[in-house]
């Protein structure tokens, strides 16, 4: 009986906590609007100059619009998750939002992850193929197109070599950290990449706190 009561108490606490977090997410204000990020990214992609020029243009525009909300001196970091490997260039990271460039030079495939967040990926270059859960068909996206992932959605994913995109996520971002770090911890055991990933997220949280209290 004691085990049952404890289980009910834990389950009730988890549900209540999730409800309160979602209530907070629904009521708070955000730094970015998804439509703005997509528009900036699609405009750069449409010029057809390739991902390096597009990323430079997008970062310049983001810094012009959002100033100190964009992290200083970002760097490309490897990321392993869901069986795939890519690279990310983090421009903003907080408890409820992230903005980054993402892609792969060699191609990769795996599990998309199931997130407590709304995510958009605007294609700059390459081909992104998704096999959504519960279907028997794939959907393919190319430069200038945007993929939208709703909370709880999952898919098998494949990127061709030289696939690059701009990704914006809004939701309870810490909930995605287990997925983002699991392959690095238990598969590649790349402690340098693990350190870099935790470091950039910690810096993002610190900068967001300093922005919110008016110190930068």
* Neighbour-count burial of 115, counting CB atoms closer than 10 A to its CB (0-12 exposed, 13-18 middle, 19+ buried): buried
**Strand pairing class (155-159; 108-111):** antiparallel
Q: Is the pLDDT of residue 32 over 70?
A: yes
The residue among 121, 140, 137, 119 whose CA lies nearest residue 129 is 140
Q: Is the pLDDT of residue 202 over 90?
A: yes
73-104 pLDDT per residue, tens:
999 999 999 999 999 999 999 999 999 999 99
For residue 212, report the phi and psi dihedrals to the nearest 5 degrees: -70, -30
Task: Give the global pTM.
Answer: 0.94
99-139 pLDDT per residue, tens:
999 999 999 999 999 999 999 999 999 999 999 999 999 99
Average the pLDDT over 6-29 and give the result: 90
Beta bridge partners of 128: 141, 159
Q: Is the pLDDT of residue 8 over 90?
A: no
pLDDT at 1: 63
Confidence of residue 4 (pLDDT cuts 50, 70, 90): confident
The residue among 45, 71, 73 whose CA lies nearest residue 58 is 45
Mean pLDDT computed over every residue of the chain: 96
The residue among 123, 162, 128 whose CA lies nearest residue 144 is 123
């Amino acid at each position: 009986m004691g085990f049952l009561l404890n289980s009910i108490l834990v389950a009730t606490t988890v549900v209540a906590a999730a409800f309160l977090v979602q209530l907070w997410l629904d009521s708070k204000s955000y730094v970015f609007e998804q439509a703005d990020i997509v528009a900036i990214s699609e405009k750069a992609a449409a010029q057809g100059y390739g991902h390096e020029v597009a990323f430079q243009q997008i970062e310049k525009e983001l810094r012009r619009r959002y100033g100190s909300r964009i992290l200083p001196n970002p760097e490309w970091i490897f990321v392993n998750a869901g069986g795939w490997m890519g690279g990310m260039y983090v421009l903003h990271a907080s408890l409820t939002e992230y903005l980054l460039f993402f892609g792969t030079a060699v191609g990769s495939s795996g599990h998309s992850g199931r997130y407590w967040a709304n995510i958009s990926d605007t294609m700059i270059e390459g081909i992104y193929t998704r096999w959504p859960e519960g279907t028997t068909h794939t959907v393919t996206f190319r430069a200038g197109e945007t993929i939208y992932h709703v909370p709880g959605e999952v898919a098998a994913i494949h990127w061709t070599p030289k696939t690059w995109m701009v990704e914006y996520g809004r939701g309870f971002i810490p909930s995605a950290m287990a997925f983002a770090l699991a392959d690095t911890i238990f598969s590649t055991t790349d402690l340098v990449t693990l350190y870099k990933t935790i470091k950039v997220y910690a810096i993002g949280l610190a900068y967001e706190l300093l922005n919110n209290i008016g110190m930068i």
